[in-house]
Amino acid sequence: MLFIKPAMSRVRTDRALYALIAGFAALVLAVAASIGLAQRQQHAFAMVTHTLEVQKRVAAALSALQDAETGERGFLLTGRPEFLQPYDAANTRMGRELDGLDAAIADNPRQHAAASRLRNLAAARQAVLRDSIARYRQGDLAGATDLGKLAQGKALMDSARVVVAGMQAEERGLLAERQQGLQTQTLLITIILTLSAIATLLLGGFVIRDARRRLAAAVEVGDALALSNQQLKAEAKSREAAEAQVRQMQKMEAVGQLTGGIAHDFNNMLAIVLGSLDLAKRRLGSDPQRVEACLDNAIEGTQRAAQLTGRLLAFSRQQPLEPRPLDVNKLVGGMSELLRRTIGEHLRVETVLAGGLWRTYADPTQLESAIINLCVNARDAMPDGGQLTIETSNAHLDDAYAAAHSEVTAGQYVMISVSDTGTGMPAEVVERAFDPFYTTKGVGRGTGLGLSQVHGFVKQSGGHVKIYSEAGVGTSVKIYLLRYFGADATGDHGPDPVAAAPRSNGEEIVLVVEDDTRVRHLSVDALRELGYTVVQAADASQALAVLTMQPQIDLLFTDVVMPDMNGRLLADRARETRPDLKVLYTTGYTRNAIVHNGVLDPDVALLSKPFTIEQLAVKVRQVIDGQPAHRPEPSETT
């Protein structure tokens, strides 16, 4: 029955369809027949009008001939010329009526022959009338009233009346015949219209009945669909709950992997720092010469910890970028010595730089770091040697590519590719390559943060990164950065090198604002070591009070994240009364005070924690001397 019922439904549907088609075909035929009969009826009406016109013309011709005869008799009886006026008018009218009659009966041979005879009789009668008038005018009264001529004229008139009577009889017969045909056609049209109306009513009833049946079927199907939807919703909820549970498990696994990796690396670095400082403390009295080596180890450990937090911020797309218009060819070309030191001499390195390369807008330091990370990964994938290729080119990611990669916006890009001929990666490794702390390298050979840092930087820069790899063949990682269309008024250069620590000129005053006491004291000591006069404040309120009492401050060096009022609000308040005040921000992490969409706000100078005394010296000197700290954001691109 499950298969018979749909088949029967299809049969009923087909029958209904055929019935509708037949009904509409019948209506079309009826309408066509009605149109044909209506056209024929119009023709019949025209022929009836034509017959009446012929009868009118025949009667008018005979009347004109009689009027001419009457006018001639009046002239012969009275001799007065005015009696000839009706005679002349009748002759003119008779010629016009005979011409019209000829035109009207041109399609009827019998009537045409009769009309020719009538024209001859009229001409003969007119000739007799003219002769009588002419004799009368010549004074021949007896000749004008000769009985023989009168008899001849009467005979001609009698013959004309016989011809006219015959023609009218012919036309009456045609009129009767055409009227009969007209009645028949009218009857046929009436019958067809009646049948059409009946067919329309029947078809309408059938359509209504079929529509009700279809509506009932639709309601039945709708009920079934509603039940199916309810079942699907229940199943979807169950599946969604299961997927949410799986996602939560995956999230916890990822968090566990992330925290485990962070804890492992930080514990190693803290072990170096703590152990080195402990040894330095013990050796201060017994072996001061070996204290410097311990301090160097502690400094190296803190630097590695700072690099780790930087990579974590890059992965989470929270690092403050300082993008600028960038010539990637120049940046890659200037990295040759750095690459040689990083990857060693056992690899062949080839650089393929595209001619006419577009400019992009990115943080050159972070882009250089990303390329170094990719080159290190390529080096580790070729332990027995191979070829490393760094390539640049212009690229256009079209709508089809953007549709296949939801995070990509179609448009023009600058592409940087790092390719190797190493071991390659299987698909399951490629799928997880950007996960933090995920690595296929041995213990102690990698942190698993290199590719995640590259991915975070590229995404934060509005770009796209793609891995193409095949096990045993090699790997190619392509970075796509948006093309830059704006003007470059400042020129294109890499990050400023760290020079020897510049010092104060001896007259400059710096206000340090930091809520962490130890960090504040460290910053104050470092600045005093560099020759600056330093005043300090533990929060924004104290800083505003100091600014009021000390108007000669040259630089406000403030932390960003502070209670009650952050560093950006403090700087804005201070500049209300001191619009020329120089400001240098410092922070270990900031989300939206001075960084928006991952990019430092225009004209913002930032020194990220932790920092060395040399880095502090260079940055403070740059801000006080008015060197550009940050370039404007790029114009919109297509």
Both tokens of residue 527?
């600045």
What pLDDT sits at residue 328? Answer: 93
What pLDDT sits at residue 490? Answer: 45
The class level of CATH for 509-624 reads alpha beta
Q: Which residues of the chain have pLDDT under 50?
A: 1-5, 314-318, 442-445, 489-499, 597-598, 629-638
Strands 533-537 and 509-513: parallel
Residue type, 412: Q
For 591-613, what is the HEC assignment?
CCCCEECCEECCCCCEEECCCCH
Strands 606-608 and 582-587: parallel
Strands 411-420 and 386-397: antiparallel
CB count within 10 Å of CB 189 equals 18
Instruction: Mark 10-38 as b/e (b = at least 16 C-beta within 10 Å).
Output: eeeeeebeeeeeebeebeeebeebbeebe
Domains 16-216 and 509-624 equal at CATH topology level: no
CB 203 within 8 A of CB 24: yes
What pLDDT sits at residue 92? Answer: 79
What pLDDT sits at residue 263? Answer: 58
Provide the CATH number for the domain formed by 324-482 in this structure.
3.30.565.10
3-class DSSP state for residue 137?
A: helix
What pLDDT sits at residue 532? Answer: 93
- What is d(CA 118, CA 60) in angstroms, rounded to the nearest whole number? 12
What pLDDT sits at residue 537? Answer: 93
Residues whose CB falls within 8 Å of the CB of residue 383, separated by 6 or more in sequence, listed in order: none
Output phi, psi for 578, to 5 deg: -125, 75
- What is d(CA 449, CA 434) in angstroms, rounded to the nearest whole number? 8
CATH of 16-216, one of 3.40.30.10, 1.20.120.1730, 3.40.50.1240, 3.30.565.10: 1.20.120.1730
Tens of pLDDT, residues 487-523: 654 444 444 444 457 888 878 999 999 988 888 888 8
What pLDDT sits at residue 1? Answer: 41
Tens of pLDDT, residues 244-276: 676 566 555 555 555 555 555 556 566 567 666
- What is d(CA 566, CA 460) in angstroms, rounded to the nearest whole number? 24
pTM attached to this predicted model = 0.41
Both tokens of residue 578?
């001191």
CB 509 within 8 A of CB 582: no
What pLDDT sits at residue 536? Answer: 93
Every domain of the chain and the residues it spans: 16-216, 324-482, 509-624
